Amino acid sequence: MAVDYIALWNEQHEAANRQKQIWNGGKSFWEDPENIRRFVDRLMGSDRSRIEAQLAAMQIPPGSTVLDIGAGPGTLAVPLALAGCDVTVVEPSAGMRAAMKEYQEISGAPAIREIPSRWEDADPAEVGVHDVVVASFSLALDDISPSLEKIDSAAKRSVHLFWFLTLPTWTGANFSLWPALHGSEFAAEPTADLLWNCLCQLGIYPDVTVEHVEKGQRYPTEEEAVADYCRRLYVRNDHQRAIVASFVRERIVRTGAGFGIPGVSKTAHIRWEKFPGAGERSGHVL
Amino acid sequence: MRYESPGASGTTIDYARLWDEQHARSLAQKEKMGENRGRFWSSQDVVDRFVKNVISGDRSRIEKQIAGMQIPPGSSVLDIGAGPGTLAVPLALMGCRVTTVEPSAPMGAAMEEYRRTVNAPPIREIRSRWEDVSPEEAGVHDVVIASRSLIMGDIRNSLLKMDAAARRAVHLYWFISSPHASGGNAELWPALHGEPYYGEANADVLWNVLCQLGIYANVKVDARDRVRRYSGFDEMKQDLYNRLFVKEDWQREIVDVFLRDRAVPDDSGYVILGSSRTAHIWWEKDDPSPDQSASV
The DSSP line for A201-248 is HTT---EEEEEEE-----BSSHHHHHHHHHHHTT--SHHHHHHHHHHH
Instruction: Give the span between the Cα atoms of B86 and B90, in whole angstroms.
Output: 7
- What is the pLDDT at residue A152? 98
Report the range out of A28-32, A260-264, B79-83, B183-187 with the highest average pLDDT. B79-83
Largest Cα–Cα distance in chain B?
65
With contacts defined as CB-CB under 8 Å, which chain A residues touch B293? 212, 214-215
- What's A80's domain CATH number? 3.40.50.150
Considering only CA atoms, which of B107, B22, B40 is closest in space to residue B245?
B40
B91 vs B196, more confident: B91
Whether B116 has its CB under 8 Å from any CB of chain A: the answer is no
SS3 B248: coil
pLDDT score of B5:
41
A210 and B202: CB-CB below 8 Å?
A: no
Task: Point out the residue among A165, A188, A205 whose CB comes nearest to the CB of B277.
Answer: A205
Contact B216 A165 (CB under 8 A): yes
Q: What is the DSSP string of B261-293?
A: HHEEEETTEEEEEEEEEEEEEEEETT---GGGG
User: Is A24 within 8 Å of chain B by CB?
Assistant: no
Phi, then psi, of A208 in degrees rounded to 5: -130, 130
**Of A173-182, A213-222, B38-47, B112-121, where does mean pLDDT reach its minimum?**
B38-47
| Residue A241 domain-assigned (yes or no) | no
Does residue A72 or residue B186 have the better pLDDT? A72
Q: How many CB atoms lie within 10 A of CB A61?
A: 11
Identify which of A188-202, B185-199, B224-238 has the greatest average pLDDT. Answer: A188-202
Query: Cα–Cα distances in Å, from A72 out to A5, A54, A56, A64, A226?
Result: 28, 15, 20, 20, 25
The amino acid at B257: V
pLDDT confidence band for B43 (50 / 70 / 90): confident
pLDDT band at B180; cut points 50, 70, 90: low
Interface test mutation site (partner B, options A197, A264, A284, max chain B beta carbons within 10 A): A197
Cross-chain residue pair A53–B295, CB shorter than 8 Å: yes
What is the number of structural domains in chain A?
1
Q: Which of A42, A137, A208 is the best residue to mutate to test the B interface, defined by the most B CB atoms within 10 Å of its own CB?
A: A208
Q: What is the pLDDT of residue A258?
A: 84
Helix residue ranges per DSSP H, chain B: 15-32, 39-42, 44-56, 59-69, 88-93, 105-117, 135-138, 155-165, 179-182, 185-193, 203-212, 233-243, 249-262
Selected residue of B23, B210, B216 to mutate for chain A interface (largest A Cβ count, 10 A): B216
Would you state the pLDDT for residue B52? 74
Hey, is the C-beta of A207 within 8 angstroms of any chain B C-beta? yes
Please indicate if any CB of chain A lies within 8 Å of the CB of B7.
Answer: yes
Q: Which of residues 221-260 of B touch A (CB under 8 A)?
A: 221, 223
Give per-residue burial for A91-100: e unless 16+ CB within 10 Å, then b: bbbebbbebb
Cβ–Cβ < 8 Å for B167, B142: yes
Contacts of A179 (CB under 8 A, 6+ apart): A185, A186
Mean per-residue pLDDT over chain B, rounded: 86
Q: Quick one: which of B258, B225, B224, B221 has its CA closest to B241?
A: B258
Which pLDDT band, with edges at 50, 70 and 90, does B293 fall under? Answer: very low
CA-based nearest residue in chain A for residue B13: A3
Mean pLDDT by 10 residues, chain A (286 residues): 86 90 69 76 73 95 97 95 97 93 93 97 97 96 96 98 89 89 90 95 95 80 90 90 93 84 91 68 35
Q: With contacts defined as CB-CB under 8 Å, which chain B residues touch A46?
A: 296
The reply to whether A231 falls in a domain is: no
The answer to whether position A224 is within a domain reads no
The predicted structure's pLDDT at residue B223: 83
Tell me whether strands B263-266 and A207-213 are parallel, antiparallel or unpaired: unpaired
Confidence (pLDDT) at B39: 67
Scored b (16 or more CB within 10 A) or e, B73-91 reads: eebbbbbbbbbbbbbbbbb
- The alpha carbon torsion through A137, A142, A146, A149 (nearest 10 deg) reads 0
A263 belongs to a structural domain = no
Q: What are residue B147's DSSP bridge partners?
A: B173
Contact yes or no for B207 and A208 at CB 8 A: yes
Strands B76-80 and B141-147: parallel
What pLDDT was estimated at residue A21? 75
pLDDT of B243 reads 84
**Residue A109: its pLDDT value, please?**
96
SS3 B9: coil
pLDDT at A86: 98
Residue A113 lies in a domain: yes
Q: What whole-number percentage of chain B has pLDDT above 90? A: 57
Angle between helices B203-212 and A192-201 (to 10 degrees): 170
CA distance A89 to A92: 10
Question: Torsion angle, CA of A129/A130/A131/A136, rounded to 10 degrees?
Answer: -120
By three-state DSSP, how is residue A165 classified?
A: coil
- Name the H helices within A72-137: 77-82, 94-107, 124-127
Asked if B55 has any chain A CB less than 8 Å from its own CB, the reply is: no
Q: Which residues share a beta bridge with B282?
A: B171, B218
Residue A141 lies in a domain: yes
**ipTM of the predicted structure?**
0.85
Residues in chain B: 296
How far apart are the CA of B29 and the nearest CA of chain A, in angstroms? 15
> Residues of A214-223 as b/e, b for ≥16 C-beta within 10 angstroms?
ebbbbbeeee
* pLDDT for residue A125: 96
Q: Is A57 on the interface with B (CB under 8 A)?
A: no
Structure confidence at residue B268 as a pLDDT band (50, 70, 90): confident
> What is the amino acid identity at position B148?
R
- CB-CB contact of B91 with B114 (8 Å): no
Element (H, E) at B80: strand B76-80
Q: Where are the alpha helices (DSSP H) in chain A?
A: 5-23, 33-45, 49-58, 77-82, 94-107, 124-127, 144-153, 171-182, 192-201, 222-232, 238-251
**Could you say which DSSP state residue B71 is in?**
P
Give how far A205 is from chain B: nearest CA, Å: 7
pLDDT at position A2: 66
The residue count for chain A? 286
Residue A247 belongs to a domain? no
C-alpha B278 chain-centroid distance? 9
Using the predicted structure, report yes or no on whether residue B294 has a pLDDT greater than 50: no
Q: At B295, is the pLDDT very low, low, confident or very high (cuts 50, 70, 90)?
A: very low
Q: Does B219 sit within 8 Å of A8, measured CB to CB?
A: no
Rounded mean pLDDT, B257-273: 85
Distance CA A186, CA B53 (A): 54
What average pLDDT does range B259-279 have in this prediction? 84
Supply the range of the domain harboring residue A111: 5-167+188-217+269-274
DSSP assignment of B90-130: HHHHTT-EEEEE---HHHHHHHHHHHHHTTPPP-EEE-S-G
pLDDT higher for B111 or B230?
B111
Q: Residue A128 domain-assigned?
A: yes
